[in-house]
């Protein structure tokens, strides 16, 4: 990622903190499927931002590794985990996903909310442990304006076709998928 992109994301998170902060939450598209998320094991949160999804998973009982390009977001994620009392279950690191997925063992859950890089699809699938859960959402052209970071119709279901889809949807400018790797 370019230095300009990193600066832009840092600025976005600085402005966000000034406007009210964050809390541990499950993204709205996944709320109806809350029981699909395990209550133990390990998780990887790609482009974790300020850590809301990571901390929600940690409160559920998972050990979570959150990665993001923005040092400001990572600082906010660490602070959120501390306020929530789950800092021992959360590890946050600055990682440029343009360089690929960081090495590590298989995980029980991979979440990726509002970030999409098709170059990571194969390694995301490989990183999931058998029975592992993928929860991914991205901006979409379906019900939204066209744009560089918006996925076309059907992209997520096609990209992750080898997983067992639990639920998926597109509309209102968002595409999402919840799927499990076969055992």
Helix (H, G, I), strand (E, B) or coil at 16: helix
Residues belonging to the chain: 183
Q: How many Cβ atoms are within 10 Å of 117's Cβ, its own excluded?
A: 16
Statement: residue 10 has pLDDT above 80:
no
What is the domain extent for residue 64? 1-181
> CA-CA distances (angstroms) from residue 97 to 102, 124, 157, 165?
8, 12, 21, 25
Report pTM: 0.91
Mean pLDDT of 38-46: 98
Give per-residue pLDDT as tens, 137-172: 999 999 988 877 789 999 999 999 999 999 999 999
Domain count for the chain, please give it.
1
pLDDT per position as a tens digit, 92-151:
999 999 999 999 999 999 999 999 999 999 999 999 999 999 999 999 999 988 877 789
Give the per-residue pLDDT at 162.
Answer: 97
For 53-71, how does the pLDDT look when each residue is reduced to its tens digit (9 = 90+)?
999 999 999 999 999 999 9
All residues at 6 or more sequence positions from 39 whose CB lies less than 8 Å from its CB, including other chains: 60, 61, 62
Amino acid 101: pLDDT? 94
36: domain CATH number is 3.40.50.150
Extended strands (E) in 20-69: 42-46, 63-68
pLDDT bin (cut points 50, 70, 90) of residue 1 is low
Q: Count of CB atoms within 10 A of residue 10's CB?
A: 16
């Amino acid at each position: 990622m370019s230095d300009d992109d990193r600066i832009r994301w840092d600025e976005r998170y600085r402005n966000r903190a000034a406007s009210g902060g964050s809390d541990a939450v499950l993204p709205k598209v996944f709320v109806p499927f809350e029981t699909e998320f395990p209550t133990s094991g390990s998780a990887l949160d790609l482009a974790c931002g300020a850590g809301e999804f990571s901390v929600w998973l940690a409160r559920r009982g998972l050990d979570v590794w959150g990665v993001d390009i923005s040092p400001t977001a990572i600082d906010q994620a660490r602070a959120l985990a501390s306020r929530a009392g789950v800092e021992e279950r959360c590890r946050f690191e600055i990682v440029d996903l343009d360089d690929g997925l960081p090495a590590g063992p298989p995980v029980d859950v991979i979440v990726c909310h509002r970030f999409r890089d098709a170059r990571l699809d194969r390694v995301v699938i490989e990183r999931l442990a058998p029975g592992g859960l993928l929860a991914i959402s991205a901006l979409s052209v379906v019900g939204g304006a066209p744009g560089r970071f918006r996925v076309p119709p059907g992209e997520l279901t096609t990209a992750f076709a080898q997983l067992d889809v639990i639920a998926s949807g597109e509309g209102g400018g968002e595409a999402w998928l919840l799927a499990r790797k076969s055992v």
